[in-house]
Structure 1
Amino acid sequence: MAFALRLFLGFLCLLLPATGALAQQPAGRAADPNGKVTVSGYLKDAANGEALVGATVVVKSLGIGATANEYGFYSLTLPKGTYTITYTFVGYEPQNTPLVLSENLTRSVRLATQGLQTDEVLVTGKKPDENVKSTEMGTSRLDMKTVKLMPALLGEVDVIRSIQLLPGISTVGEGASGFNVRGGGVDQNLILLDEAPIYNASHLFGLFSTFNPDAVKDIKLVKGGIPAQYGGRLSSLLDVRMKEGNTQRLGVTGGVGLIMSRLAVEAPIVKDKGSFIVAGRRSYGDLFLKFVPDQKDNQAYFYDLSAKANYTLGDQDRVYISGYLGRDVFAFGKDFKNTLGNRTGTVRWNHVFNSRLFANVTGLVSKYDYGLGVPEGNQSFDWKSNIVNYSAKADFNYYRTPQSTLNFGAGAIYYTFLPGRVTPISANSIFRTIALDNQRAVEYSAYLDNEQTFSPRLSAQYGLRLSMFDYMGSGSTVYEYEGPNGWQKTPVNPRQYAAGKLIKRYPNLEPRASLRYSLNGHSSLKASYNRMVQYIHLVSNTTASSPLDVWTPSTNNIKPEHADQLAVGYFRNFKDNAYEASVEVFGKRMDNQIDYINGANTLLNRYLEAELLYGRGRAYGAEFYVKKNEGRLTGWVSYTLSRSERQINGINNNEWYVNKYDKTHYLSVVGIYTLTPRWTVSSTFNYSTGIATTFPDSRYVYQGLVIPNVNGDVRNNYRVPAYHRLDLAATYEGKPDPSRRWHSSWTFSVYNAYGRRNPYSIYFRQNADNPAKTEAVRLAVFGTVLPSASYNFNF
């Protein structure tokens, strides 16, 4: 540990002088002693000034190029000379620019969108051949234009539901919060909104996500080959970037649906220098309840508000401020109330030190909290819980050569956890005050990552992440636990730690590597290895996560989770990139996986760690993907064959068992067809193996009650019936009128078109007509056809 800590601190010290030396190179002169110069700048949308993430810059005569980063910045180093540089991005008109390069040059470019193609839809948000030529694997980007054409629950476009149609991504059922990646838990996904972590990315208990489609610009999901810049979760990265706002003119986007309405406004602060966007949504189920006499005091709604502003301070500096506020409210008169929500705030500063060195410095805060209680009466109480983190980090991109880009940086996160606090509201309440101890922790990280092209056929991305987690005192008592596995343990050796005193430190090294070898111009082989470490954990002993689940840090008893993942894939495009296909095979080994003793109590438990068990995990499988990018009919088919298991002493007779996220088969089919220039129809179909669960295999009678019973120490011994669902949609575009800015459309959808009663869970009870019998009852969230319509507009 001491060696890892010294290495960690030494690496941090090396970053600063290296950055300073690189920054000393003047931006306007040829600094390369070999006679090379650099052209750099930003690539943006000509209509609204939005950065074009992933746009390409190519010099065809030399066969080299570069890709714009998350802020649209690019850098390309060339020998001195005269070249024609081609700037391209899917859906935009290519721009060919002749340049005479005798010294370093700054050249920002605005690309215009291509003319409307009325006979086809382009289903991609990336370069046509990026899946073959990039080193990325296990990575998917969704274009919001495509997402908005797909069928949606009650007509509301949803980011999380859309990514569940991709290979390797699943969910435990309708109404379940979050998503599962390659057999991992929902807490093993790092979900970022403008770099701020989101701890519960759902509204209405998982029916909708927190991301307003009118405010989202880019969606990137990485489930393998995760760069060294990111850490803290085992399974995946979901990076969601908000729009920056229109720098040219006022724009308004909105929609009215059956259950919610939304509105987004964007405009310049100063034309071509700064802009803002504000987007909000609100459901109105509670408004309809007021018209029902016996429901008028009940509430059930959610809202969210997204805002972002940016301003260009000069040729080398730009600042961004963004934030998110979302909340769900449920109340049954004065008998019960539940609220939960996320809040984030992000401040970023982009600085171009010179034509090769780009920096992004970020400060952010993120909070997830939930509360419930009874407002009045002798059972009145108020229950609160939250997790808050404050983070600061600096990321650098150094474009060494056209064949090599060095990424490095460092950061720190300060966590506070409130596991639970219950207080009585009235003097005659039967509840007493219960307050679990607050917890504090600090996570440090530094990384170095290199993207290297060795030859036209061979490229790699490799790096190392150094992370360290300090579990800190908060004036609370810390215990150790003794006892046999499988049973509640006994707290022993109590120790008091003052606020800020170190209790336990966990340093870790996390190597990452991805490799791409091109077989020819339209096919390639790829491989990746990731070592990931997770320091915070979601404590939940239910199949689907719920708002009452508790986030807890690694402690002196709970060790960090580790995962090593190896993946190999074959990627091929057909017919000039009109079709793309891939097969990825992965294997993942996990340590320190958390599970629970039978009958564990995870709510307001001061000795929660006495109920936890730890062990190994493994997941492996194959993912098949075929996509049609062009033509009147577009879409994709994805199929995943996988297995996810755990082995934890004290569970299932200490033998391997399938975990609650395991799904052997998962099939998704997406089709989008352009009937006419104004009518587009689409459909999605899902099929998956039923979730694993523990069913009773016997029963006993106690005081006249028939009680289901499980014989032996078994876990997840049955599966619920398979899940399958067909959704349909049609979008009707308003008549185009070049003289008017107003544009509108109607979206009609049918969710669960053939009325499948997919089981969310199955429970057992006594038969009402014959109490001596036990019956299984299927609980379905949506057991019927759900039609909907929504009206959308923009100007």
Structure 2
Amino acid sequence: MLKRHHKILHTTFLLLLFFSLGTKAQNSKVVSIPLIAYIQSLEATFKVKFSYVDEDLENLKINPIEGEYLSVILSGIQNQTQLQIKKLSDRYYTLYKNTTVDICAQVLDNYESNTIPGATVEVLGSSIALVTNFEGTFSLKNIPRQATLRIRFLGYKTRYIRAEELVDPSPCLQILLVPNYEELDEVILFKLLTTGLSQQRDGSILLTIDDFGILPGLIEPDVLQTVQALPGIKSIDETVSDINVRGGTNDQNLILWDGIKMYQSGHFFGLISAFNPYLTDKVTIIKNGTSAQYGEGVSSIINMESQNNINGTFFGGAGFNLISGDAYAHVPLGQKLAFQFSARRSVTDFLNTPTYNRFFEKAFQDSEIKDSNDQSIDDGIVREEDFYFYDISGKILYDLNENQKVRLSFINIKNDLAYTETAQDSSRSSRSGLDQNNISFGGQLESTWTSNFTTHLNMYYTRYNLDARNSSDNGSQQLFQNNQVLETAVKFNTNYEFSNTLGMLNGYAFTETGIINFTNVTQPAFKSNIKGVLRQHSLFSELNYTSSDKKLHARAGTRLNYLENLNTFKEWILEPRLSLAYNFTKHFNGELLGEFKNQATNQIIDLEQNFLGIEKQRWILSDNDKLPITKSKQGSLGFNYDDKSWYLGIQGFYKEVNGISTSTQGFQNQNQFNGEIGKYDVKGIEFLINKKTTTFSTWLSYAYNLNNYTFEDVTPNTFPNNLDIRHTVTFAGTYTYEGLKLGVGLNYRTGKPYTEPQEGSNGIDRTTFPNTINYQENNSSRLPDYLRADASAIYDFEMGNRIKSSIGVSFLNLLNKRNVLNTYYRLNDDDQIETIESVSLGITPNVSFRLTF
């Protein structure tokens, strides 16, 4: 009782003190006090009791109310708090919350204390929205008490606040918005080709999916197809899983998804990208001048980032085309938590479409065999296939607070094939199967410690597995191959801004990569199981400088790598990096880029005839013996002009890549088994001219490459690279009118090199067992020139207030031109030379329908 008595005296004293202060300073701002303490003082003063739920009142404050009568004071409490007060008897009262409240507030800049008119105020989960008036104020009535308001204004950080925190006092409460000083990763310099494509100040190319328009042949923003519209990036075999950047092989591209290295990038054996674009926020393509934070990828980096901000409202979409169907969604679970997912599955195992038929013919055409008289001997073979693919991705976004953000990502990519060929005349059959799977998990922690110091922690685990099975001659010979990659990585970056013009990036990365290559053959009996583990520690540092007049942008850094193959070698490698850009005038810019890079993971290429020639690449680790570490150095100089309606760009480059092996380059002649070590060097020019208006864009691009191998143990030791495409030309255009988008384009390139057998009887060496083919000089012949026309059309329309729709139609190889992509030779059972030609897609239609909401 004594303790309670002291508590009543204490609260009464506080109340009297507040009343006294209010009497002495009538014009001063009234001080708010906790509502529970105020009610306790009323209980002592008026000898009454109030019942309430502590959680309902514990965060509420009130301005003391002048008055002699309890009824007047209680009415004032209702007005200030919008609580309901019910009299149960002369002594007992109850207080409880309304389910709805009336609110008002004034939005201010917390730095200048200026009002912010025109700020957007939204009640999440409803259609209620408005903007603040000239005084920066707003008011709403009958809003759910637990509703969350989102307040946004350009240049300020978005603010989330509960409606019950803004109950309608007088004057309205003030909401302070914090200016957003976040600097963009790179400054956009030039818009290219279509909406959503732009060149950055450091020479990289940025693809923003939300803004993407249309490109010829594309009705969906397929990431790995889109990048091929840029000069210097092509796929010689028309796949997305074999992209060649400035004469390099596909395994020399570093492909990242949410910071995770991807070892599988395609569906349908490379004809379709494995990454759903609709939750991808942006894609950065780097051909040279790479930041020191990136390792590997001696040819290029393709960095895909999914949407990274929590959106308080649900959005999603779904669609289908003649190959697959997909769905995606962003689901907010609160103002600090959201979940994203996407899923896609093929319809090829239960629906036969013209698009699937064309893709199937392209993927499995290597079984089309011709004799020495160029006559097909492929008749009388019955083919059966069972094929499907899917990909699933998910992401959890959680903001611990405004300065710490946690992101957890997941992706699973799968291809599955069962294929049988049966000869009708002999009933001999051959069965092949492929099971390709990539599963990855990643986590990121983004922290802002001060206005000029941030950190980024990235960890991931990825597992790639390929099982290939082949049974021929009715099962008398069986072959099984397994390729497995397990990789774990931890990367930590720090960014410090010394000033508005100078910043510094530092960091450390650790990667452990384990690769297994297992082979088992029954006839003749052969078994091989090669395992390797590579650990890599990297320290990197770079400075970023932008002059005060914004004309000069410079980035210079270095990356120090320590590589350790647990079976064979240890090595230190230092890699300098440089990016310089200078604006000579408002519209004219020059850039100088350079880099040294290395990579210790490569893909060897099996014989073309294994597993139908559709999936013949196996990941392996460098051992610095049979396969050294691949090292590159590259420099480029370019100039760009842009006046909004015209863009003109030209860039010359030189690249040298050492430590390549004939086993990783896809040789199909006398050098395909020998494993000689050498290099290649590329000299080239890339040119692009682009005319743009608000409704159309047309462009002409040209690329010249002189790409040569040098192998000291091969005669002659210098000869054209397998990917030596001397001339590449693209002429294309797009047109947009209201909801209609049209695109048409023409692609031309000279033929790639290949090696023919010697003529006549010299074509076969019968002095060896088994007999072999005698070839002419390496890559001394060239395939015919390549020409393909593509077209596409998309129409966007609305199906209600919240649902947007689109219909798309595309045609690949509109002229149905037969382009030979590759030619190689082999001996059949009768020791006759067979010619195997790989040809391009025929005319390939596709149709899509999409909904977004």
Question: Which TM-score tier does this pair reach, normalised by the shorter chain?
Answer: 0.7 to 0.9
Relative to 1, partners in 2 of residues 1:543 and 1:408: Cα closer, same or farther, differing over 3 Å? farther
Q: How does 1:446-461 map to 2 (within 5 A)?
A: 446-456=539-549, 457-461=551-555
Give how far 1:590 is off.
2.4
Q: How does 1:161-560 map to 2 (within 5 A)?
A: 161-175=225-239, 177-244=241-308, 247-271=311-335, 273-288=336-351, 298-332=385-419, 335-373=431-469, 379=477, 382-422=480-520, 434-456=527-549, 457-473=551-567, 503-540=568-605, 547-557=615-625, 558-560=627-629
How big is each residue's C-alpha offset from its partner over 1:317-348, in whole Å with a ceiling of 9 and x where there is no partner? Answer: 11000111011111026933111122211101
Relative to 1, partners in 2 of residues 1:642 and 1:245: Cα closer, same or farther, differing over 3 Å? same
On the 8 A contact 1:48/1:249 being kept in 2, the answer is no
State how many pairs are aligned: 636
On the 8 A contact 2:349/2:387 being kept in 1, the answer is yes
Relative to 1, partners in 2 of residues 1:390 and 1:731: Cα closer, same or farther, differing over 3 Å? same
More helix per residue: 1 or 2? 2
Letter in 2 for 1:661: L
More divergent stretch after superposition (398-407 vs 625-634): 625-634
Q: How does 1:94-133 map to 2 (within 5 A)?
A: 107-108=179-180, 123-125=194-196, 131=200
On the 8 A contact 2:289/2:595 being kept in 1, the answer is yes
On the 8 A contact 1:615/1:647 being kept in 2, the answer is yes
- Aligned residue for 1:353, secondary structure, equals strand
**Cα RMSD after superposing both structures:** 4.0
Relative to 1, partners in 2 of residues 1:444 and 1:775: Cα closer, same or farther, differing over 3 Å? closer
Between the two structures, name the one with larger relative contact order (CA 8 Å, sep ≥ 6). Answer: 1
On the 8 A contact 2:454/2:494 being kept in 1, the answer is yes
- Structure 2 portions without partners, runs of 5+: 1-110, 113-119, 125-152, 158-176, 184-190, 358-380, 421-429
- Aligned residue for 1:438, secondary structure, equals strand
How big is each residue's C-alpha offset from its partner over 1:208-228, in whole Å with a ceiling of 9 and x where there is no partner? Answer: 111112221101100011111
CA distance in 1, matches of 2:832, 2:524: 38
Matching of residue 794 in structure 1 with residue 852 in structure 2? yes
How big is each residue's C-alpha offset from its partner over 1:299-334, in whole Å with a ceiling of 9 and x where there is no partner? Answer: 111110111111100122110001110111110269
Letter in 1 for 2:780: N
Relative to 1, partners in 2 of residues 1:652 and 1:772: Cα closer, same or farther, differing over 3 Å? closer
Relative to 1, partners in 2 of residues 1:791 and 1:354: Cα closer, same or farther, differing over 3 Å? same
CA distance in 2, matches of 1:677, 1:176: 31
On the 8 A contact 2:635/2:654 being kept in 1, the answer is yes
- Aligned residue for 1:183, secondary structure, equals coil
Letter in 1 for 2:450: N
CA distance in 1, matches of 2:458, 2:477: 45
CA distance in 1, matches of 2:822, 2:461: 36
CA distance in 1, matches of 2:255, 2:121: 30
Relative to 1, partners in 2 of residues 1:419 and 1:601: Cα closer, same or farther, differing over 3 Å? farther
- Aligned residue for 1:214, secondary structure, equals helix
Letter in 2 for 1:194: D
Counterpart position of 2:150: none
- Structure 1 portions without partners, runs of 5+: 1-36, 39-44, 50-83, 89-104, 112-119, 424-428, 474-502, 603-607
CA distance in 2, matches of 1:461, 1:757: 46
- Aligned residue for 2:760, secondary structure, equals strand
- Aligned residue for 1:447, secondary structure, equals strand
On the 8 A contact 2:666/2:672 being kept in 1, the answer is no
Matching of residue 140 in structure 1 with residue 205 in structure 2? yes
Give how far 1:681 is off.
1.0
Give how far 1:233 is off.
2.1
CA distance in 1, matches of 2:208, 2:795: 19
On the 8 A contact 2:795/2:808 being kept in 1, the answer is yes
Matching of residue 573 in structure 1 with residue 642 in structure 2? yes
Counterpart position of 1:611: 674
Give how far 1:434 is off.
2.2
Give how far 1:152 is off.
3.6
Give how far 1:743 is off.
1.3
Give how far 1:750 is off.
1.4
How big is each residue's C-alpha offset from its partner over 1:380-406, in whole Å with a ceiling of 9 and x where there is no partner? Answer: 664321111100010111111110121
More divergent stretch after superposition (590-599 vs 614-623): 590-599
CA distance in 1, matches of 2:666, 2:707: 23
On the 8 A contact 1:615/1:649 being kept in 2, the answer is yes
More divergent stretch after superposition (452-461 vs 392-401): 452-461
Letter in 1 for 2:601: I
Counterpart position of 2:721: 659
- Aligned residue for 2:312, secondary structure, equals coil
CA distance in 1, matches of 2:831, 2:535: 56
CA distance in 1, matches of 2:193, 2:688: 17
CA distance in 2, matches of 1:191, 1:585: 24
Letter in 1 for 2:492: A
CA distance in 2, matches of 1:171, 1:556: 29
CA distance in 2, matches of 1:188, 1:750: 30
Letter in 1 for 2:630: E
- Aligned residue for 1:287, secondary structure, equals coil
Matching of residue 698 in structure 1 with residue 753 in structure 2? no
More divergent stretch after superposition (591-600 vs 351-360): 591-600
- Aligned residue for 1:401, secondary structure, equals coil
On the 8 A contact 2:639/2:651 being kept in 1, the answer is yes
How big is each residue's C-alpha offset from its partner over 1:627-670, in whole Å with a ceiling of 9 and x where there is no partner? Answer: 3454100253321111111111122322x211111111112233
CA distance in 2, matches of 1:319, 1:418: 33
CA distance in 2, matches of 1:332, 1:541: 19
CA distance in 2, matches of 1:581, 1:750: 29
Relative to 1, partners in 2 of residues 1:430 and 1:595: Cα closer, same or farther, differing over 3 Å? closer
Counterpart position of 1:149: 214
Matching of residue 584 in structure 1 with residue 644 in structure 2? no
How big is each residue's C-alpha offset from its partner over 1:592-629, in whole Å with a ceiling of 9 and x where there is no partner? Answer: 22224999899xxxxx9993211232111111122345
CA distance in 1, matches of 2:442, 2:280: 15
How big is each residue's C-alpha offset from its partner over 1:533-587, in whole Å with a ceiling of 9 and x where there is no partner? Answer: 122222226799963322222214132122111111111112xx23322111101
Give how far 1:266 is off.
1.4
Relative to 1, partners in 2 of residues 1:447 and 1:232: Cα closer, same or farther, differing over 3 Å? same
On the 8 A contact 2:765/2:773 being kept in 1, the answer is no
How big is each residue's C-alpha offset from its partner over 1:266-291, in whole Å with a ceiling of 9 and x where there is no partner? Answer: 110213x221211111111111379x
How big is each residue's C-alpha offset from its partner over 1:393-426, in whole Å with a ceiling of 9 and x where there is no partner? Answer: 1011111111012111001100111012438xxx
Name which one, 1 or 2, has greater alpha-carbon Rg: 2
CA distance in 2, matches of 1:601, 1:673: 43
> What is the TM-score of this pair, normalised by structure 1?
0.73
On the 8 A contact 2:196/2:213 being kept in 1, the answer is no
Letter in 2 for 1:288: L
CA distance in 1, matches of 2:527, 2:495: 49
Letter in 2 for 1:780: V
- Aligned residue for 2:481, secondary structure, equals strand
How big is each residue's C-alpha offset from its partner over 1:452-506, in whole Å with a ceiling of 9 and x where there is no partner? Answer: 1245333311001101110103xxxxxxxxxxxxxxxxxxxxxxxxxxxxx3111
- Aligned residue for 1:150, secondary structure, equals coil
Relative to 1, partners in 2 of residues 1:379 and 1:146: Cα closer, same or farther, differing over 3 Å? farther
CA distance in 1, matches of 2:765, 2:297: 48
CA distance in 1, matches of 2:345, 2:281: 20
Give how far 1:710 is off.
4.0
Relative to 1, partners in 2 of residues 1:470 and 1:601: Cα closer, same or farther, differing over 3 Å? farther
